């Protein structure tokens, strides 16, 4: 692919949660509400990722969610996650989504099997060949059980549908290795708190959990990181992100979103449950801190604009 990557104007993708009602069914009213929030903030949307509990949904639910969000006529791109361990099912899922007005795919590593370099290449090549839209590959060893081979990624980077990599190993050295070996794809951080450091190493943006809770604030955080203005980001953002990962994602995010009335309730699909987090003080404190940080950020932006007007 060329050095001009698609979606360059969207450095922030929100890995959207999937709201459920108290009976565990998809809450489309809340889903529409939070999708419109992301649209208003100018954030691109990722559906059915791990934050969206995609693998806890049956395929009919997955398709209905994608169709519903596509039907909202949003102004931001929509990416759909492709993840699992049965290649035939993933290819069938891509074929279904190829018929829908989506914009991109997130291709996860195969789960459980832990293939080597050649197996990884076979897996991703099959998915890339079937995809109609640009694809972001996903390295998340904590969930998939394997780390994406650098040499495999290097050979895949020239595929016409290979656009980007979401790097969520939490290992800066691994990110640097990918960056050096794979200059023809865009690298995105899959770790909210690491973005300032990874931008220094060439990250183009962020696939975010925090943006579910703080859509506008996280967009400002990403913009500040990309401009190299990291003053004031620590420890506020690190502490805030830590609170969202105190237990398995997206439990804390859903709890805080329910508290803020962004979604109707914090229901999750088993084996995840909001009973894992009984003390919400750190979440509430993080929410207050991010709100205060954004107020200061907005004030600085206004002051800078006024200075430019009078210059």
Identify the CATH number of the domain defined by range 12-227.
Answer: 3.20.20.70
What is the spatial distance between Cα 269 and Cα 255, in angstroms, rounded to a whole number? 14
pLDDT digits (tens, 9 = 90+) for 9-28: 999 999 999 999 999 999 99
Contact 110, 138 (CB under 8 A): no
Distance CA 203, CA 225 (A): 10
Q: Is 188 a catalytic residue?
A: no
Sequence-separated (6 or more) residues with CB below 8 Å from residue 78: 44, 45, 47, 66, 69, 70, 101, 102, 103, 104
Q: 190: which residues sit within 8 A by CB, 6+ positions away?
A: 138, 139, 140, 166, 167, 168, 206, 207
pTM for this one? 0.95
Distances (CA, A) of 257 to 30, 195, 200, 285: 10, 23, 31, 14
C-alpha–C-alpha distance, residues 271 and 56, integer Å: 9
Q: Which position among 138, 178, 221, 297 bears the catalytic label?
A: 138
d(CA 37, CA 25) in angstroms, rounded, equals 21
Q: Among positive and negative, which fits the CA dihedral 114, 120, 124, 126? A: negative
Would you call 128 helix, strand, or coil by DSSP?
Answer: helix
How high is the pLDDT of residue 4? 64
Give residue 131's pLDDT.
98
Catalytic residue, chosen from 10, 105, 161, 166, is 166
8 neighbors 204 (Cβ within 8 angstroms): yes
Q: 146: pLDDT confidence band, cut at 50, 70 and 90?
A: confident
DSSP summary character for residue 71? T
pLDDT digits (tens, 9 = 90+) for 261-308: 999 999 999 999 999 999 999 999 999 999 999 999 998 888 777 777
Structure confidence at residue 239 as a pLDDT band (50, 70, 90): very high
Please say if 138 is a catalytic residue. Answer: yes
Mean pLDDT of 183-206: 96
Each residue's pLDDT tens digit, 75-95: 999 999 999 999 999 999 999
The pair of structure tokens assigned to 141 is 């060893």
Average pLDDT over residues 231-245: 95
Tokens 């979606």 -> residue: 7
Domain borders along the chain are 12-227
Task: Tell me the three-class secondary structure of 137-182, residue by residue.
Answer: EEECHHHHCCCCCHHHHHHHCCCCCEEEEEECCCCHHHHHHHHHHC
């Amino acid at each position: 692919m060329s050095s001009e990557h698609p979606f360059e104007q969207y450095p922030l993708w929100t890995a959207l949660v999937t709201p459920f009602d108290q009976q565990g069914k998809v809450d489309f009213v809340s889903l529409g509400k939070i999708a419109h929030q992301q649209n208003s903030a100018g954030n691109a949307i990722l559906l059915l990722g791990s934050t969206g509990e995609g693998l806890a949904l049956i395929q009919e639910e997955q398709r209905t969610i994608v169709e519903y969000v596509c039907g909202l006529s949003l102004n931001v791109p929509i990416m759909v996650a492709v993840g699992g361990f049965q290649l035939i099912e993933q290819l069938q899922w891509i074929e279904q989504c190829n018929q829908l007005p989506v914009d991109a795919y997130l291709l996860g590593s195969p789960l459980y099997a832990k293939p080597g370099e050649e197996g990884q290449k076979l897996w991703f090549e099959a998915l890339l060949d079937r995809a109609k839209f640009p694809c972001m590959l996903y390295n998340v060893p904590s969930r998939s059980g394997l780390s994406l081979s650098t040499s495999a990624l290097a050979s895949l980077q020239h595929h016409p549908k290979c656009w980007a990599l979401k790097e969520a190993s939490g290992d800066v050295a691994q990110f640097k290795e990918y960056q050096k070996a794979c200059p023809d794809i865009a690298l995105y951080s899959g770790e909210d708190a690491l973005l300032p450091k990874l931008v220094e190493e060439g990250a183009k943006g962020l696939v975010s959990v925090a943006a579910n809770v703080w859509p506008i604030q996280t967009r400002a955080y990403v913009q500040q990181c990309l401009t190299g203005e990291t003053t004031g980001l620590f420890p506020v953002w690190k502490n805030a992100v830590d609170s969202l990962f105190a237990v398995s994602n997206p439990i804390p995010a859903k709890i805080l979103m329910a508290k803020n009335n962004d979604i109707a309730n914090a229901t999750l699909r088993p084996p995840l449950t909001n009973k894992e987090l009984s003390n919400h003080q750190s979440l509430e404190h993080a929410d207050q801190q991010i709100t205060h940080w954004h107020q200061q950020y907005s004030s600085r932006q206004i002051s800078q604009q006024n200075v430019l007007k009078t210059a």
